[in-house]
C-alpha cells in the first residue's frame, strides 16, 4: 500500500525538498500552500507529487485540504507540518501587534489546525494511525535577536509536539519535531549574506544544503509507528547555535 503524505509550505524551500525526497522514496505526496503556481512548479519534479492550494490559517481551507487528500488517495499516513512565517525583524518595543499576530497565525494556529485535521483522519482510518512531524526550527530552543514573534511561535510548536505525542498514543499516531538550522533556501539567503548576532554585530553564517533537512524528514517518516524520533536537530555544523547569546 502506497503511503500518503501531506506537506504544508510545500511550494518552496524545505517543504519542496522534502516532498521530492518522499516521492522518490515511493510516497504519494500532497504539496499544500497558498500559491498555485509555486505548487505546480514543485509538483512537476515527480509524478507522485500533487498540488492542493490551502491557507493553513483558514479552518475551512485546512479541512478542504485533508478532505480532498482522502478523496483522492484514501488516507493520510504523514503530515509534515512545515508552513511557517517570519515577521519583520525589529526590536521588541517596535513590534506591531499585527505583525506578532500574523506570525502566530501561521506558525501556531496553522500548525494546530493541520495537526487536528490530520489527527482526526489518522484516528478514524483503517489501518489506524500515522505520523505528524512538526517543523520547529532551532528558534524553538534559542532566539535570534529581534525575532520575538518567531521565537515565541516556535517555542509553542514544541508544546504542540509534546501534546500530540501524548494524545496520539491511544490511536497509533506518532509525533516528532525537526529543528532545522540554516538550511539554504530562498527564505534563508539573507542569513548567508549577514545576520544579526547576539552582540549586535552582523556576520554571515554557515549554511547547509536543504537536501540534508529533507533527508532527515524522510528518515523520521520512514520509521515504523512503534518507533519515533521525538526531537531532531539538524543544522549547519559551524553555525552560531551552540552558545548562541
Q: In the structure grid, which three cell numbers stand for residue 25, read together? A: 522514496
More confident residue, 190 or 89: 89
- Given a cut of 60, whether residue 245 has pLDDT beyond it is no
**150 in active site:** yes
CATH class of 4-235: alpha beta
More confident residue, 145 or 82: 82
Per-residue pLDDT of 48-79, as tens digits, reads 999 999 999 999 999 999 999 999 999 999 99
Q: Looking at residues 85-95, what average pLDDT do you find? A: 90
- Given a cut of 70, whether residue 232 has pLDDT beyond it is yes
pLDDT band of residue 26 (cuts 50, 70, 90) is: very high
Residue 241 pLDDT: 83
Catalytic residue among 34, 150, 177, 208: 150
- Could you tell me how far CA 59 lies from the centroid of its own chain? 18
Q: Looking at residues 200-228, what average pLDDT do you find? A: 93
The region that residue 243 occupies, defined by phi over 0 for left and psi between -120 and 50 for alpha, beta otherwise, is left
Alpha carbon distance, N-terminus to C-terminus of the chain: 48
Q: What is the mean pLDDT of the chain?
A: 94
- Given a cut of 60, whether residue 244 has pLDDT beyond it is no
- Given a cut of 60, whether residue 176 has pLDDT beyond it is yes
Residue 190 pLDDT: 75
- State how far the Cα of 56 lies from the Cα of 134, in Å rounded to an integer: 14
Domain ranges of the chain: 4-235
* Backbone φ and ψ of 165, nearest 5°: -60, -45
Amino acid at each position: 500500500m502506497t503511503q500518503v503524505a501531506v506537506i504544508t509550505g510545500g511550494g518552496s524551500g524545505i517543504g519542496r525538498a522534502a516532498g521530492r525526497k518522499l516521492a522518490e522514496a515511493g510516497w504519494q505526496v500532497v504539496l499544500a500552500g497558498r500559491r498555485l503556481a509555486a505548487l505546480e512548479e514543485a509538483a512537476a519534479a515527480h509524478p507522485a507529487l500533487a498540488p492542493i492550494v490551502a491557507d493553513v490559517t483558514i479552518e475551512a481551507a485546512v479541512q478542504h485540504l485533508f478532505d480532498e487528500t482522502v478523496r483522492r488517495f484514501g488516507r493520510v499516513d504523514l503530515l509534515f507540518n512545515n508552513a511557517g512565517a517570519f515577521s519583520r525583524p525589529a526590536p521588541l518595543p517596535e513590534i506591531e501587534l499585527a505583525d506578532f499576530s500574523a506570525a502566530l497565525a501561521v506558525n501556531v494556529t496553522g500548525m494546530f489546525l493541520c495537526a487536528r485535521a490530520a489527527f482526526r483522519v489518522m484516528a478514524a482510518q483503517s489501518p489506524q494511525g500515522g505520523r505528524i512531524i512538526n517543523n520547529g526550527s532551532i528558534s524553538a530552543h534559542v532566539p535570534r535577536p529581534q525575532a520575538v514573534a518567531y521565537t515565541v511561535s516556535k517555542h509553542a510548536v514544541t508544546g504542540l509536539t509534546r501534546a500530540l505525542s501524548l494524545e496520539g498514543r491511544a490511536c497509533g499516531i506518532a509525533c516528532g519535531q525537526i529543528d532545522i538550522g540554516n538550511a539554504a533556501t530562498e527564505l534563508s539567503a539573507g542569513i548567508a549574506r549577514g545576520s544579526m548576532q547576539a552582540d549586535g554585530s552582523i556576520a554571515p553564517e554557515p549554511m547547509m544544503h536543504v537536501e540534508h533537512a529533507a533527508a532527515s524528514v524522510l528518515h523520521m517518516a520512514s520509521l515504523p509507528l512503534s518507533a519515533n524520533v521525538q526531537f531532531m536537530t539538524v543544522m549547519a555544523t559551524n553555525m552560531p547555535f551552540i552558545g548562541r547569546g
